[in-house]
Amino acid sequence: MIEVTIIPVLKDNYAYLIRLGDGTSAVVDPGEAAPVIETLERLGLKLDYILNTHHHGDHTAGNAALKEKYGALVLAPETERGRIPAVDRGLREGEIFMLGGDAMHIIETPGHTLGALCFHFPESRVLFTGDTLFLMGCGRLFEGTPAQMYESLGKIAALPDETLIYCGHEYTVEATEFCLSIEPDNADLKRRQIEERAKEARGEPTIPATLALEKKTNVFLRARTLEEFTAYREKRNHF
């Protein structure tokens, strides 16, 4: 089983510290090194693994400094490794990587970038989605097509409902506004907006959320056809 600690980095990114079952630890998407080092020192931990969901700098810029300080193994999408600093080992679709004794399933989710990955820990019911799925949102299509992203979100939607989603950015409250513009009468969405605004007011992260809640409130997961999904993604760009 894994234990996740949220580390706010940069303006609105999240890195995640994972304590693994065998006492080792990993970080997901270190957009900068200093806040990760502070968290490790506060918890009295070293760093064994660095995981990147995709090649963007706000998810990878801390790789080199953390690898140098801790000798951590850097794991990243095989198809993007040329664009990511200090990679040791590429990860591929369908692979099961034993990370400190915990099985990590690699799910390729192209759309935001072509090689984007999600990291799934089925036993712990945890999924790291990077910039593919946000709470009540989905990533911009910088490299992939709407059809690719729609299919990628379908892979996520097929996971167990109790799965906890840890995504790459804090965009949740503004995302509620967009989802309500599409589904103004969705009662779950109205209730969730109040709850997420309250967390924001208390200065708390809105992360994580269950996949079940996302399926009730995230219009990108609720789109019934590719055409509907494509229309929402296009509207979101100009919202």
Binding site for Fe ion (CB under 5 A): 58, 131, 168
> Amino acid letter at 82?
G
> Amino acid letter at 154?
G
Nearer to Zn ion, 58 or 214 (CB): 58
Residue with tokens 């998810």: 59
Element spanning 17, H or E:
strand 13-19
Which region holds residue 20: left if phi is over 0, alpha if psi is between -120 and 50, else beta?
A: beta
Nearer to Zn ion, 25 or 146 (CB): 146
CA dihedral 127, 130, 131, 132 (to 10 degrees): -40
Q: Is residue 32 near Zn ion by the rule CB under 5 A?
A: no
Q: Is residue 29 near Zn ion by the rule CB under 5 A?
A: no
Residue 185 annotated to the active site? no
Smallest separation, CB 96 to Zn ion (Å): 25
Smallest separation, CB 77 to Zn ion (Å): 12
Residue 105 annotated to the active site? no
Smallest separation, CB 61 to Zn ion (Å): 12
Smallest separation, CB 143 to Zn ion (Å): 10
Query: 167, 14 in Cβ contact below 8 A?
Result: yes
Residue 58 annotated to the active site? yes
How far is residue 149's CA from residue 155's CA, in Å, rounded to a whole number?
10
- Contact residue for Zn ion among 55, 56, 222, 233 (CB under 5 A): 56
Given the residues 29, 48, 55, 58, select the one marked as catalytic. 58
Mention every residue, 6+ apart, whose C-beta is less than 8 A from residue 167: 14, 128, 129, 130, 131, 133, 134, 135, 207
Nearer to Zn ion, 32 or 131 (CB): 131
- Contact residue for Zn ion among 48, 80, 131, 214 (CB under 5 A): 131
Given the residues 131, 161, 185, 188, select the one marked as catalytic. 131
> How many residues at the interface with Zn ion, by CB under 5 A?
2
Stretch that binds Zn ion, among 5-13, 52-60, 102-110, 180-188 (CB under 5 A): 52-60
What does the block give as tokens for 222? 């609720």
Given the residues 54, 55, 102, 120, select the one marked as catalytic. 54
Smallest separation, CB 227 to Zn ion (Å): 25
Query: 183, 189 in Cβ contact below 8 A?
Result: yes
Mention every residue, 6+ apart, whose C-beta is less than 8 A from residue 41: none
List the catalytic residues.
Answer: 54, 56, 58-59, 112, 131, 169
Footprint on this chain of Zn ion (rule: CB under 5 A): 56, 131
